[in-house]
Amino acid sequence: MSQSQRQTWVSIVIAAVIIVAILAVTVVGGTAFFIYRHVHTQFTGEQSAGEEFAQTRARFAGQKPLIEIRRGDEPVLHRELVTGSTSIAKLDSLRVLAYDTRAQKLIRVSIPFWLLRLAPSNKFSLFSDNGIDLDADRVHLTLDDLERRGPGLILDQADRRGSQVIVWTE
């Protein structure tokens, strides 16, 4: 191999390493920006969090949640709320409002539906926490189910420690 061919290959390898490094930095930065924009956490007392939950519940007054968890029982998926055809209203986001009483932390999460559609599996899994345990194998809830249901209340649950979570689609 001549000297000029070796210099060409060295230049190509250096350029490839630089491109991979730039892509890695872009992915890390994009992920950090996404989390910054879609996950909001604040430390607050139970009274303030309770007011936030009351306002959110008022939006869904009289609406039955799609998933109901009864103490000591399996989660119940209310299939009657999922119609046969796709809802007219297109879903923009999945929203979660959660409050951890021990840490006194209120968490708001908004996940764009386009991102959920990119997931490799169509099964939907929310949490796996001490009092709230929903997993796709037990509930069998898919994104198609959520889209057929349309905007509305998915879950409104308090666990045995007093922590609360509300999940809805808009």
- pLDDT tens per residue across span 112-163: 888 888 876 655 555 444 344 444 455 667 788 888 888 899 988 887 777 8
Q: Report the alpha-carbon distance of residue 143 to residue 116 in Å, rounded.
A: 8
Q: Quick one: 116 and 160 in the same domain?
A: yes
Q: Quick one: 102 and 160 in the same domain?
A: yes
Q: Report the alpha-carbon distance of residue 45 to residue 70 in Å, rounded.
A: 26
At 139, which helix (H) or strand (E)?
A: helix 136-139
pTM of the entire structure?
Answer: 0.74
pLDDT at 76: 75
Structure tokens at 116: 């959920």
Q: Quick one: 7 and 52 in the same domain?
A: no
Q: Quick one: 11 and 64 in the same domain?
A: no
Q: Where are the alpha helices (DSSP H) in 63-135?
A: 113-118
pLDDT at 31: 86
Residue with tokens 């060295």: 10
Q: Quick one: 88 and 160 in the same domain?
A: yes
Structure tokens at 79: 């299939």
Write down how long the chain is: 170
Residue 17's domain comprises 1-39
Residues 53-110 pLDDT 10s: 999 999 999 888 988 877 666 677 777 767 666 667 788 999 999 999 888 999 999 9
Q: Report the alpha-carbon distance of residue 1 to residue 167 in Å, rounded.
A: 63
Q: Quick one: 23 and 76 in the same domain?
A: no
pLDDT at 75: 74
Q: Quick one: 12 and 28 in the same domain?
A: yes
Q: Quick one: 32 and 53 in the same domain?
A: no
- pLDDT-derived band at 25 (thresholds 50, 70, 90) equals very high
Partners of 170 in the beta sheet? none
At 145, which helix (H) or strand (E)?
A: helix 143-149
pLDDT at 55: 95
pLDDT at 127: 46
Half-sphere exposure of 61 (CA within 13 A, CB side): 4
> In degrees rounded to 5, what are phi and psi of residue 50?
-60, -40
Mean pLDDT of 20-48: 92
